[in-house]
Amino acid sequence: MDHAADAHRTDLMTITRFVLNEQSKYPESRGDFTILLSHIVLGCKFVCTSVNKAGLAKLIGLAGETNIQGEEQKKLDVLSNEVFIKALVSSGRTRVLVSEEDENAIFVESSKRGRYCVVFDPLDGSSNIDCGVSIGTIFGIYMVKDDHEPTLDDVLQPGKQMVAAGYCMYGSSCTLVLSTGTGVNGFTLDPSLGEFILTHPDIKIPKKGKIYSVNEGNAKNWDAPTAAYVEKCKFPKDGSSSKSLRYIGSMVADVHRTLLYGGTFMYPADKKNPNGKLRVLYEVFPMSFLIEKAGGQAFTGKQRALDLVPTKIHERSPVFLGSYDEIEEIKALYAAEGQKK
Ligand code: FDP
């Protein structure tokens, strides 16, 4: 990127302008998606500001409640959840909402109802809040017919049916990565303008990668294909260099790096957690959607991640996602293991 030229840029592609441009390609479009997205963007800006001043505003620390996953809720989680629910409902474009923080799905009252269902994790990676490590919001969007009473089936759909997905990372800068089905684009918040500006157009994940990312503390409980892949990363037998290990432990940050630099991000099954840790609807699906749209792959150890059909809103699944060739290797290891059985 030419930073000098960039500094003098006057023709800014804001996220709203970008989505309006996309919308103009579909003359039948009613603009509902653009309105929904502007409410999500507002939620992201609000959470970004809250994360930035968390220390000052004493938002760091426990809120005194435990969420349905049995995790302690942080004040920022509670706040972010409220912000997103209010922003989504007030858009008048949503129907069913699923949040990581709420045990039950939210069915939007009929006067405020629209065609979109949003599944989201308002503040993912929350164990990192107190030490200032990057955290983020993850969201996936389904569009359903608006001719029926909303039900859970509206959101219990495979990830390949999503019409859009994205995340916002609250890090050294605030970055929103979005796919509306064709390509993946990254926008960075310009705090002086209060606008997300297109900074990473048409992101493509490198076909191969030099980084692997996994919680190696769980290695003693891994299955054979996961252990074999990681062993190969560290001790390649084909004369190639060993891969680097990078694990932040905050999914948005680990996936963001994987998307830009290539490699693999894994949260595999293990003996203690046969379904892994990450939640299908609002972690595995949106991230798999983005990785696929950027040219990579996402695999559960058994199938393409986006083909999973969830039966419960907080279901978990193992996931291996990243560069196309790396995931091919992991798929081959699982296929070989399957033949042994
Ligand atoms: P966190 O527990 O801090 O909220 O699913 C949540 C998540 O973070 C992901 O963001 C992250 O990738 C993963 O859990 C980290 O889990 P481990 O601590 O088990 O490695």
Mean pLDDT by 10 residues, the chain (341 residues): 59 91 79 94 95 75 70 79 97 97 97 96 89 94 90 97 97 96 96 95 97 97 97 95 97 98 97 95 98 98 98 98 98 92 72
Tokens of 245: 């290990």
pTM over 0.85: yes
Element (H, E) at 246: none
Which residues, listed in sequence order, are joined to residue 299 by a DSSP beta bridge?
Answer: 304, 320
pLDDT for residue 109? 96
Q: Give, using CA atoms, the residue closest to atom 19 of ligand 1.
A: 215
If one residue of 124, 255, 256, 270 were mutated to test the ligand 1 pocket, choosing by the most ligand atoms within 8 A of its CB, it would be 124
pLDDT for residue 75? 84
pLDDT for residue 331? 98
Tokens of 258: 């994987």
Strands 72-74 and 62-66: antiparallel
- Compute, in angstroms, the gap from residue 248 CA to the centroid of ligand 1: 9
Q: Is 294 exposed, middle or buried (0-12, 13-18, 19+ CB in 10 A)?
A: buried
pLDDT for residue 30? 82
pLDDT for residue 72? 60
Tokens of 272: 């203690």
pLDDT for residue 338? 84
E strands along the chain, which residues?
62-66, 72-74, 94-99, 106-107, 116-124, 135-143, 164-170, 174-179, 185-190, 195-200, 211-213, 244-245, 264-267, 297-299, 319-322
pLDDT for residue 5? 55
- Compute, in angstroms, the gap from residue 322 CA to the centroid of ligand 1: 17
Which residues, listed in sequence order, are joined to residue 297 by a DSSP beta bridge?
Answer: 322
Spell out the residues 6+ positions from residue 324 whose beta carbon is closer than 8 angstroms to its own.
205, 207, 295, 296, 297
Q: For 46-68, what is the HEC assignment?
A: HHHHHHHCCCCCCCCCEEEEECC
pLDDT for residue 56? 66
E strands along 163-224, which residues?
164-170, 174-179, 185-190, 195-200, 211-213
Nearest to 177 by CA among 235, 110, 251: 251
- Compute, in angstroms, the gap from residue 48 CA to the centroid of ligand 1: 19
Ligand 1: which atom is nearest the Cα of residue 254?
12
Tell me how far CA of residue 12 lies from CA of 192, 213, 240, in angstroms: 13, 34, 43
pLDDT for residue 208? 96
Whole-number percent of the chain with pLDDT over 70:
93
Nearest to 141 by CA among 100, 79, 98: 98
pLDDT for residue 280? 98
Tell me how far CA of residue 227 lies from CA of 84, 194, 230, 280, in angstroms: 39, 45, 5, 23
Q: Is the CB of 249 under 6 A from ligand 1?
A: yes
Q: Give, using CA atoms, the residue closest to atom 16 of ligand 1.
A: 249
Q: Is the CB of 126 under 6 A from ligand 1?
A: yes
